[in-house]
Structure 1
Amino acid sequence: TNDGSYEEEGAVLHVDTRTSVWPVRDKNYDAHLHDIIQPLNCKETLLQALSTELQNATSTLLCTNLEAKVVDLVTCRIAAIFQSLVHQDHLQCKARKVAFWRQVMMHPCWPTYVSVPRLLHTPIQLVVFDKDGTLINCETVFGPWLEQLVSGMQGLLPMTCKSQCLWNALGYDKETQTFEASSVIPRGTYDDIREFLTEWIINASLEKSQDPKEVWSQVVARWTAPELRREHIAPCADLQALFASLQARNIQTAVCTSDDRPDTLKTLEWLGIRPATVRCGDDNLSSKPSPEPLWDICHELGINPAAAVMVGDTISDIKAGRHARFGRVVGVLTGGYATPQFDEADIVCDTVADILNIV
């Protein structure tokens, strides 16, 4: 309110901070992280250092009467640790960040961090969209590709297993070419899908002594990326009108997807939309539900997460928005989830077109 107090609405606190800037950087802390993390190449030593920094960063969460403003400091500290985990090697960089994210999720204070009511800064300055299932129909893209991919893996699949067992595990109905809401195919990165196939082949095989690395290498050798075709791209709404309306309101847009960058940029080009920035599954970032890609977007644009809205069709999207402490987290029903499965979302809409009624 005008006197500086907060007005609570459910799990979100409203505060008018039109001049808010994010992130609040502490140069001394950045230098400290650089000094202790950069020299560490041993995985075990690095993880121990990260554990110590995470413990220090979250120490304020042990206080009573926590306010959202106190948690903002924790947010900036965790985001700074993510940014410090750079490495010249792409795989090493991503592995470091994934390992740190796992530490964050397992930390005893993490549920407290997530449960503290989030601030909503007004006016809203940024809307971040997921891509597959949110902006476009994912089934027209991934259905034909998955059938081709599995066909090419026949030599790896256990002879004792019927193909229907794999389709069920993948959450795919071959007859209708539709995915279950929990399917890894439209939700995960390519690495997630390869890991899923590797684990399924090992678990379904009678030869329990199979070397996971060998099975992984064979899956990778047979892997084919989706052949992106313009006729397969079916938007879930009039996206050009939506993005133009947001721009007219001085609201920036971004896309955060698990898909790889080349296909993502080509899809956005075909859709005729130009978000301010894009984060993809093959970037040097941990993937949703980690908050890192959302924080990275806010860092580039200089926007406080509390002044941003996350829009997605999966539970991972919703959790990423909550973990990043976005001001609003919106679920859309175009990806196959039912409304009750979005119980952690602030708002549930039929399609992304309804976002204009929220911002």
Structure 2
Amino acid sequence: MSEERCSLFSVFYSLFTIYYFYSLFSDLCLSVSTCPVQFPAFAGTCLLHGVRGSRPALYNDYTGAGVGVRRTLNGSWSIYCGEIEVAQFMITKQVHETALVIFDKDGTLISYDHWGEIMHHRSKRLAHRLNLSAAAEEQLCLFMGVTPYTSAILPGGLVYAPRQEAEKKVGEYIHIHFGLSQKEAFQLTTDVFSEIDQETDFKLSLQPLPGAVSLMENLRVAGAKIAIATHDSAAATQIHLHSLGWTELIDMVVSPDIVPEQKPSPQPILRICSALDIAPEQTTMVGDNVTDVLAGKNAGCKISIGVLTGVSNAEEFSGADLIIKTLDEVLVV
């Protein structure tokens, strides 16, 4: 038997010895859930933890006392007993605890600025495919929410709309004004949107918003899970995360491709909580749009935070638990 297998056998023998005595003297029941650490002996990891009260089986109490094993930074295995870690963060001198933070993407983690140029490229590609006149091309560009010559984003335009909504409205515009069938117009639109995504060098155009990277890194170090609930497509989001080098920071992404119900529906948040096995009551939602805050409220999140770096203003965030100017204001402690 290899040295590592012997070590693992000793760990698990000790673990279940502790479990036996722990179960004798505790009125907590023990359950098994998935943990991010991967053991070489099998695909998953077992984490034994306490479950309190009558919480639905879908969610487990990640603050209960328990016993488990984890791999240390030097590669060895260790047994631990006690409380499952949650991250603590501070805003305006008030400390909060969370096991999971769900972020919106555009306007929250990433600046909207790059979308003006991208939407302009999409409008020009569509105009070329449709063989439009200069005047018709300008009107299409304006309809898509950007100025024809500077790529400036127009307030309230389609740049801020969920991707599926933007594709649908542009397809309808093409169908009405340029004679294509609805099916042809929508197919052309979705094809062009995807083409521009694939051709764009997002490493040059994407700009993380102040505090985004350090906040996610510090939350991970503190033990919190991180997820993204976005209105963008899954494919585009993965391109963005890869370009920014964020793929290792994010535990899960939910987009309309995965959950058709969009924010302010609670379903994107509930899907993430279910998949990561963390209750909404242990979850924080952060977004720049009032729909993000409403989604957090509708899902029963512990905290819903509005950040003033995107679509909504402070008045629109009146229902938020907290309002911050930038993510720099969040200090992980």
Write the mapping of 1:69-88 to structure 2, written as runs, cut at 5 A: none
Matched, 1:126 2:96: no
Tell me the SS of whatever aligns to 1:300.
Answer: helix
Counterpart position of 1:217: 187
Mark the CA change 1:221 to 1:298 in structure 2 (over 3 Å): closer, same or farther: closer
Q: Which runs of 5+ in 2 are unaligned?
A: 1-49, 59-95
CA distance in 2, matches of 1:22, 1:251: 24
Matched-pair contact (CA < 8 Å) for 1:291–1:320: yes
Counterpart secondary structure, 1:247: helix
Instruction: Give the residue type in structure 2 aligned to 1:241.
Output: S
Counterpart AA for 1:199: E
Question: Normalising by structure 2, what TM-score?
Answer: 0.61
Residue 137 and residue 221 in structure 1: after superposition, are their counterparts in 2 closer, same or farther (change >3 A)?
A: closer
Residue 324 of structure 1 corresponds to 299
1:351 maps to: 326
Question: Could you tell me how far apart the structure 1 residues matched to 2:56 and 2:190 are?
Answer: 42
Name the CA distance, whole Å, in 1 between partners of 2:308 and 2:54: 31
Greater relative contact order (CA < 8 Å, ≥ 6 in sequence): 1
Give the conservation status (yes or no) of the 8 Å contact 2:120–2:146: no
Task: Summarize the Cα distance change of 1:333–1:194 in structure 2 as closer, same or farther, 3 Å threshold.
Answer: same
| Structure with the bigger percentage of strand | 2
The higher radius of gyration belongs to 2
Decide which structure has greater helix share: 1
- Do the aligned partners of 1:126 and 1:252 also contact (CA within 8 Å) in 2? yes
Deviations 1:54-101 (A, max 9, x none): xxxxxxxxxxxxxxxxxxxxxxxxxxxxxxxxxxxxxxxxxxxxxxxx
Aligned partner of 1:101 in structure 2 is none
Q: Which residue of 1 aligns with 2:229?
A: 256
2:204 aligned partner: 231
TM-score, scaled relative to structure 1: 0.57
CA deviation after TM superposition for structure 1 residue 170, in Å: 3.0
Equivalences for residues 196-345 of structure 1 within 5 A: 196-204=169-177, 211-220=181-190, 222-223=192-193, 224-226=195-197, 227-273=200-246, 274-345=249-320
Q: 1:177 to 1:215 in 2, by over 3 A?
A: closer
Q: How far apart in 1 are the matches of 2:100 and 2:119?
A: 34
Runs of 5+ consecutive residues of structure 1 not aligned to the other structure: 1-17, 27-121
Shift of 1:222: 4.6
- Please state whether the residue corresponding to 1:253 is helix, strand or coil: strand
Report what 2:168 is aligned to.
195
Work out the number of aligned pairs and report it. 241
Q: 1:215 to 1:261 in 2, by over 3 A?
A: closer
The equivalent of 2:19 in structure 1 is: none
With over 3 angstroms needed to count, the CA separation of the structure-2 counterparts of 1:331 and 1:216, relative to structure 1, is same
Letter of the 1:307 counterpart: Q
Q: 1:24 aligns with which of 50, 56, 61?
A: 56
Identity rate, percent: 25
